[in-house]
Amino acid sequence: GENVEQHPSTLSVQEGDSAVIKCTYSDSASNYFPWYKQELGKGPQLIIDIRSNVGEKKDQRIAVTLNKTAKHFSLHITETQPEDSAVYFCANSWGKLQFGAGTQVVVTP
């Protein structure tokens, strides 16, 4: 069954704008929250992750926030560029890693 819900399923943004993808989860034992980026024809690649003892993590233009009380976490991409166009997956783990359904991000010049 789906433990993690991801929204939106598609996201179109203008180059330079910000993109936000949100995920909610149900298992309160979840303690690891990674985000993967999948480019066309390739396997997913980890871009950032966060553990349950941290509320926010940043790496250059990407950041992840975690609200354990509300059981949701979000990916923020600032100053989007055409190379950010891809499918993004959230996931969470409590001993079993489960993925969201994915968000197709299209950055238009």
Partner 1 sequence: NAGVTQTPKFQVLKTGQSMTLQCAQDMNHEYMSWYRQDPGMGLRLIHYSVGAGITDQGEVPNGYNVSRSTTEDFPLRLLSAAPSQTSVYFCASSTAGDSYEQYFGPGTRLTVT
* Minimum distance from residue 103 beta carbon to partner 1 (Å): 10
Residue appearing with tokens 């598609």? 10
Q: Residues of 17-49 as b/e, b for ≥16 C-beta within 10 angstroms? A: eebbbbbbbeeeebeebbbbbeeeeeebeebbb
Look up residue 101 and give its two tokens. Answer: 């359904």
Stretch 63-92 residues interacting with partner 1 (CB under 8 A): 89
Is residue 35 close enough to count as binding partner 1 by CB under 8 A? no
For partner 1, the closer CB: 10 or 108: 10
Q: Does 50 bind partner 1 (CB under 8 A)?
A: no
Neighbours of 88 (CB within 10 A): 24
Nearer to partner 1, 41 or 109 (CB): 41
- Tokens representing residue 13 in the block: 């943004």
User: Which one of the spans 12-20, 27-35, 57-65, 72-80 is the region binding partner 1 (CB under 8 A)?
Assistant: 27-35
- Which positions touch partner 1 (CB under 8 A)? 6, 9, 31-32, 34, 36, 41-46, 49, 89, 93, 95-102
